[in-house]
C-alpha cells in the first residue's frame, strides 16, 4: 500500500471530477464535481454537475477504502440516495483516482464510477 493513503486527512480539501459511470453518461462539458473534507478518517462533502443540482455525502476512510452514504437532488426534481464503497488509487503524478462501486437505495444493481482528482 502506498504511504499516501496512510495520511490521516488525505482527502481534506481535494476536488474530483467524474470521468466515467455505468449508471449514466458523463457530460464532458459539465461533469459531476466532488469536494471532499476529511478529519481523522471521517469524510464529508458535496457535489454537483451533470444531472445533479446538489448532493451531499458522509462516511469514513480506512487506508485506501472509503465507505459513504449519499443523497442528491436531480435536475428533473427527483431525489436519489444510496451507499458506496471506493478504492483510492495513487497515480504516477501523485494525483488520486477514486474507483467507486455504488448502489441506489431500493435498487439491487451495483454501478461503478471513476473520479479523477482535479490538479
State residue 103's pLDDT score.
96
User: Could you list the pLDDT tens digit for every one of the 119 residues in the chain?
Assistant: 455 667 889 999 999 999 999 998 999 999 999 999 999 999 999 999 999 999 999 999 999 999 999 999 999 999 999 999 999 999 999 999 999 999 999 999 999 999 999 98
Residue 107 belongs to what domain range?
A: 3-117
d(C-alpha 98, C-alpha 61), whole Å: 12
State residue 90's pLDDT score.
94
Contacts 24+ apart (CB under 8 A), 22-28: 22/111, 22/112, 22/113, 23/102, 23/104, 23/111, 23/113, 24/50, 24/51, 26/50, 27/51
pTM: 0.92
State residue 21's pLDDT score.
96
CATH number at residue 17: 2.40.128.30
With pLDDT > 70 as the criterion, what percentage of the chain qualifies? 96
State residue 80's pLDDT score.
96
Domain tally, the chain: 1
Amino acid at each position: 500500500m502506498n504511504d499516501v493513503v496512510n495520511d490521516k486527512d488525505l482527502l481534506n480539501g481535494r476536488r474530483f471530477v467524474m470521468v466515467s459511470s455505468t449508471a449514466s453518461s458523463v457530460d464532458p462539458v459539465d461533469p459531476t464535481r466532488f469536494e471532499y473534507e476529511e478529519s481523522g478518517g471521517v469524510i464529508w462533502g458535496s457535489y454537483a454537475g451533470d444531472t445533479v443540482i446538489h448532493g451531499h455525502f458522509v462516511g469514513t476512510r480506512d487506508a485506501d477504502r472509503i465507505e459513504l452514504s449519499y443523497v442528491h437532488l436531480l435536475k428533473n426534481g427527483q431525489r436519489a440516495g444510496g451507499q458506496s464503497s471506493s478504492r483510492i488509487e495513487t497515480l504516477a503524478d501523485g494525483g488520486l483516482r477514486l474507483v467507486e462501486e455504488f448502489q441506489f437505495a431500493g435498487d439491487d444493481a451495483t454501478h461503478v464510477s471513476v473520479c479523477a482528482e482535479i490538479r
